Amino acid sequence: MEKKYVVPLKDAVTGVLHGNAGTFRVLIDEPTSGAKHFSLSVNTMKAGVEGAEHKHPDNEHCWYI
């Protein structure tokens, strides 16, 4: 896969959030852009959805919600 520095939303890795709570789109991660230990996701969630705090010991992630 060619590494990308710009990923339009339409080209993002996209799927359904756990429990059908909404949609996730991954813009930056190692397979897409080569970023190690970091990912950037855009999440669109249904009204009233709550999530539990959690950590990934080997990487940081950023969500735009």
pLDDT confidence of residue 22: 94
pLDDT confidence of residue 5: 79
Averaged pLDDT for residues 12-16: 95
| pTM for this model (two decimals) | 0.76
Band of residue 65 on the pLDDT scale cut at 50, 70, 90: low
pLDDT confidence of residue 23: 95
> Is pLDDT of 56 > 80?
no
- Note the pLDDT tens digit of each residue in 33-54: 888 888 888 999 999 988 777 7
Q: What is the 3-state secondary structure (H, E, C) of the chain?
A: CCCCCCCCHHHCEEEECHHHCEEEEEEECHHHHCCCCEEEEEEEECCCCCCCCCCCCCCEEEEEC
